[in-house]
Amino acid sequence: MKELLTPLIVLAASLLLPCGCADVGAIAVTGLHIEVTAIELETDSTVSVAWQVVNPNVGSYLVASVTNKIYLNGTLVGTVVTKDPTGLPSQGSATKNGKLTPAGPAADRLLREAAGRGPVNYRVDSLLVIQMFGDDTSKGQLTHSGSVTVVSK
């Protein structure tokens, strides 16, 4: 009976005590944020979006991919997906460009109306995939808001 007592205590403790494990995705993106720096309506009716990932942390990151959902004045205008890996330096930023996949005709109309009117309020909801080690990745979600000018070429 004494031989079974210790394993039973360890098993009971492991089941009853909290794990202490944290959400690795939340830890990986702590402090990071994404800023939309420019939105351009091209002559061929595509929309180009420039954005940057800002890293105030002392560690550097390898961002494997980013999906940005962009809202102007509270309305979803589209999504920008970037799948090329990007190095994010310590206490620095990395700038990227991508084509916007419009959210529909209302989004196109909103973008045309915003062009040339000055700064427009935006919100960007982002899903980052951070390359951790080898093939291991961690996903984290970010939200950031600010203002951006929409220009037409």
Domain spans, the chain: 23-152
- Evaluate whether 97 touches 50 at the Cβ level (below 8 Å): yes
Give the CATH fold of the 23-152 domain. Immunoglobulin-like (2.60.40)
Residue 57: exposed, middle, or buried by beta-carbon count in 10 A (0-12, 13-18, 19+)? middle
CB atoms within 10 A of CB 84: 10
- Per-residue pLDDT of the chain (153 residues), as tens digits, is 556 666 656 556 555 555 444 444 455 678 899 999 999 999 888 999 999 999 999 989 999 999 999 999 999 999 999 999 999 999 999 999 999 999 988 898 999 999 988 899 999 999 999 988 777 888 999 999 999 999 998
